[in-house]
Amino acid sequence: MKKVFFRSHGKPVIIQDNSDDYIINYIEQNKTFYEKELLDEIFHRAMPNWFFVDIGAHIGNHSIFLSKILGLSGLAFEARHETYVSLLANLEGNAVSDLVRCLECAVGDRTGSAISLGPKVHGNSGTNSVKLNTREGISQIAIDSFIFERLDFMKIDVEGAELNCLQGARSTIIKHKPLLCLEAMDRSSFEQLSSWLEELGYVPKRRFNATPTYLFEPI
């Protein structure tokens, strides 16, 4: 078990992971949140009563920032069991379990089940991906299966399945118009996401991170 302690915006933070993984190693070396530039952007945009959805929450880096640093409530999804255990431990360790509800499942364009394909990059469980399997595997759910009173920010990092997640959240996006944070692994992925979201009145505004991640805003 690797545990990292640091302070962010004057608040103590602890993040732990059972694996010797890229993300926890980055946090340990830099004593700050992973993808800090993106999180700083959200820091300056978020309002106190925002509600967020974190799809592909991994060990909780983004959910902890949004709940502990910003005081927001949200819903976090993580499909990989070992990573989900670390996610729960990190939310509890930062005393934000009451703010963030966690579900151990994949998110896609429909409710069913999926199978894990494992990490695409060795030593980085954040690159774990899944595919739909209607007969066996881990559970999968569509965001449109939920009824939200409000939804202000949605982050999707699911290693190439972002469009599937959006398709399963179409009605929710149309209703609530949340700020969207989406990973697009290549130019083709970005163009697919942009084209689909353009029909819903969204445009890309900023790019972050080594693996391109984009903020999309409603016009």
Residue 137, pLDDT above cutoff 80: no
Residues 6+ apart with CB under 8 A from 88: 97, 102
Alpha helices in 5-147, H assignment, sequence order = 22-30, 36-45, 61-64, 81-93
Q: Which residue has the higher pLDDT, 195 or 18?
A: 195
Instruction: Tell me how far apart the terminal alpha carbons of the chain are, to the nearest angstrom.
Output: 45
pLDDT reported for residue 130: 41
| Within-domain flag for 48 | yes
Q: Which residue has the higher pLDDT, 176 or 18?
A: 176
pLDDT reported for residue 65: 98
Domains in the chain, number? 1
Tokens linked to 60:
């909780």
pLDDT reported for residue 163: 97
Mean pLDDT of 56-65: 98
| Within-domain flag for 179 | yes
pLDDT reported for residue 101: 98
Q: For the chain, what percent of residues have pLDDT higher than 70?
A: 89
| Within-domain flag for 193 | yes
| Within-domain flag for 7 | no
Domain span holding position 81: 34-218
Least confident span in 32-41, 97-106, 209-218? 209-218
Q: For the chain, what percent of residues have pLDDT higher than 90?
A: 82
- CA pair distance 203, 219, nearest whole angstrom: 7
85-125 pLDDT, tens digit each: 999 999 999 999 999 999 999 999 998 865 545 554 444 34
Mean pLDDT, the chain, as a whole number?
A: 90
Q: What is the CATH number of the domain that holds 194?
A: 3.40.50.150
H helix or E strand, kind and range, residue 162: helix 162-167
